[in-house]
Every structure is written in structure tokens, then in C-alpha cells.
Amino acid sequence: MKTETRQKIFEFIKKQGQATPKEIVDFISFSPQMIFRHLARLQNDGKIKKAGTSPFVFYHLPMDSKEWSTQEAIKWAYEQTAPELKKDYYCQTRDIFQARTDKLPKDFINTTNNEQLSFLLSAVVGEIGNNSFDHNLGNWPDVPGIFFKVDLKERLIILADRGQGIFQSLKKIRPSIQNHQEALTIAFTEIISGRTPEHRGNGLKFVRRVIEENNIKLRFYTGDAKCVIESKETKFLKTDKPVNGTLAIIEF
């Protein structure tokens, strides 16, 4: 019985990504004292870790440093109610985003020692971030602006928005699109624009080409679909949990 309860707690934390003591107690429906004993045993066994300080404590599975770097963006993109972001990672308006991207080429050159790659990476970041502002202009369904983080140590770039997503954007000009996966596939493979009546829409094709040709990895999520580009191979997959808007994680 004890082992079964601990396994249920472990699986719950694994599914949620991270969970507070209250969330675990509510899920298991046992006394807090009993839950804390199980949590302590799981920690001692190395199966979970505890983070934060009271009253803001949560439990999660052991993660490497790259996973830690993406957690705030993932939480912001997936939560039903957007958590408050650190000022350093929040670009509420396009001008704030532009000011931060202007510094990227120099930062990337110092990290990669590759000037051409640095300017290509900066262009990719600009394309993804500006898409968020372009396609949600005056129509943000949730919090306006984007999450934007560059972790040079881990060689990660993370962008996310809580906008309408690619499916809703493209469906306005191609009503026949059925779902998020189809919309995402079209966005990365066809020249089509969600900003009618403009004749543009090559942006994500450019992103895909740069990623494929420069040994970069991209995970791009929208709704219940994701695009994974790695080792010059591109896959479009369905996900179990939908994201609000879009989330892009670039490893370079």
C-alpha cells in the first residue's frame, strides 16, 4: 500500500512537471503528514527533488541544468493563469523585444566564435519573436507580449507567448485547416501568411532552413502540436498537453 501510494505521488509529479504539497495532498486525498512522509522517502531514494522555500515549495523530478533553464517558460506557456515573470524575461511590447535582440549578435559571437552563425541565430530569434507580436496585434487573448530568455552558458534560446497560436492565425485565411498539427506543418513547409491581406509568410520556412543547415535543435510548440528539428530531420507530432500560444526552445 505504501509503495503504491508513493508510486502514485511520483507519477503525479512526473505528469505535472512540478507540484506543490497542496496539489499532491488534494490528488492523493490522504493526510498532509502521511504525504510528507512519502515525499521524504521519495527524496531519500533520489526519485524527486524539492525546490523553493516555504510557503512556495514544489517537488519535481531530477533535472539537468538545461531543463531547469526552460522551466519558467514552460510554466508560463502551459499554465491556465499566467504566473508573473521576471522583468528580465518579459517583453511586453515589440520595442522592448527589439532592444534586447539588437544585442544578440555580439553575445552570440562571443559564445560561438562564428560570426555567420551568430547573425543567423539573431535573425531566427527576431523572426519567431516578431511573429508573436504580428499575429496577435490588438487581439491578445491573454497576457500580451512574450517570454524571451537567452542562456549563453547552456546555449539555449527560449521564446513563448500566450497568444492565439498558429492554428487560429492560419485558419482565418485557410478555413479548411483541421487542427494544430496540420497548421504547424503548413507554417513550416508552405509560404502562407496569417496577416491578410499581406503576401508574406516565408518566416518559419527560413527558421527551418537555418536550423537544419547549421546543426541546431528546435522544439516548437503550439496548441497540442510540436515541430522538432534535429540532425537535419524535421518531425511534426501531436502532444498530450496543449500550450497557450507558442513556445520555442532552441539549442545551439
Q: Does residue 47 sit in the same domain as residue 123?
A: no
- Domain count across the chain: 2
Residue 26 CA to residue 128 CA, distance in Å, equals 39
* Domain end marker among 30, 60, 90: 60
CATH of residue 200: 3.30.565
Collect the ranges in the chain with pLDDT lower than 70: 1-2, 53, 55, 63-65, 193-201
Name the residue among 157, 137, 131 with its Cα closest to residue 222. Answer: 131
Residue 117 CA to residue 101 CA, distance in Å, equals 15
Q: Does residue 28 sit in the same domain as residue 110?
A: no
Strand order in the sheet with 217-230: 90-91, 146-151, 156-161, 233-251, 217-230
Write out pLDDT tens, residues 39-58: 999 999 989 988 776 767 88
pLDDT at 198: 42
Q: Does residue 183 sit in the same domain as residue 236?
A: yes
Domain, as residue range, for 158: 65-251
Q: Does residue 86 sit in the same domain as residue 56?
A: no
DSSP codes, 112-166: HS-HHHHHHHHHHHHHHHHHHHHHHTT--SSS-SEEEEEETTTTEEEEEE-S-HH
* Domain end marker among 21, 41, 60: 60
Write 183-192 long-range contacts (CB < 8 A, 24+): 183/222, 183/223, 183/225, 184/220, 184/222, 184/223, 184/225, 184/226, 184/227, 184/236, 185/227, 185/236, 188/220, 188/227, 188/234, 188/236
* Domain end marker among 60, 87, 108: 60
Q: Does residue 132 sit in the same domain as residue 221?
A: yes
Q: Does residue 192 sit in the same domain as residue 241?
A: yes
Q: Does residue 112 sit in the same domain as residue 192?
A: yes
Q: Does residue 38 sit in the same domain as residue 79?
A: no
Mode of pairing for the β-strands spanning 233-251 and 217-230: antiparallel
* Count of CA atoms in the C-beta half-sphere (13 A) of 115: 0
* pTM of the model as a whole: 0.75
CATH of residue 54: 1.10.10.10
pLDDT at 60: 84
